[in-house]
Amino acid sequence: MSEAQTPPQADPDPASAEDQTLEKLLAETQSRLQEQREAWMRAVAETDNVRKRALSDVAAAHKFAIERFADSLTPVCDSLEATLAAAGETNEALKSGVELTLKQMRAALEKAGVTEIAPAVGERFDPNRHQAMAAVASPAEPNTVVTVMVKGYRLHERILRPALVTVAKALENKDGKPDLAANPNPN
């Protein structure tokens, strides 16, 4: 045999077989690592997109929150314009136009969840819904509403403006003491 033709060895080098196995294992591990890195990058991008979409939705909700309320007020504006156009006509036509406008305004407010606070005369004073502007001597029971100066309004359960009222106080005799004969219920 010549030197160029060496016989194949029957026993391969165990170190080179182990190197090939390690290289194959390293390649598989690097491949899985790359797949996991790509999956992580997609998850991060998706999370970022969801966050941006949520911020956009919130901004749109803030921007258009009163859209329905504003839409219900447009007929009120139309009625006011028609009333002003009819100002040269009779007072009855003007009054009718203003009544219609007020009716539309109340409907728009009610649709938006705004309700009136209009206490009846004689109703017990409620500091959570009423604001006493004055207390007047009256034969009515003390701490009851005598007159309503301005109606109040609430949005669902939140008070926008309390009703401004005059409240009854006990009648006094000449000595400045409550007159029990005039006020049978001094509660």
CATH number at residue 179: 2.30.22.10
Q: What is the mean pLDDT of the segment spanning 18-41?
A: 92
The parent domain of residue 151 ranges over 113-187
Number of domains composing the chain: 1
Classify residue 17: in a domain, yes or no: no
What is the model's pLDDT at position 170?
82
Residue 164 inside a domain? The answer is: yes
Question: Any long-range contacts for 129-135 (C-beta under 8 Å, 24+ apart)?
Answer: 129/154, 129/159, 129/162, 129/163, 130/162, 130/163, 130/164, 130/165, 131/162, 131/163, 131/164, 131/165, 132/165, 132/166, 132/167, 133/164, 133/165, 133/166, 134/166, 134/167, 135/166, 135/167, 135/168, 135/169
Could you tell me if residue 70 is inside a domain? no
* 56-79 residue pLDDT tens: 999 888 777 777 777 787 888 888
Per-residue confidence band for 187, with pLDDT thresholds at 50, 70 and 90:
very low
User: Does residue 133 lie in a domain region?
Assistant: yes
Does residue 168 lie in a domain region? yes
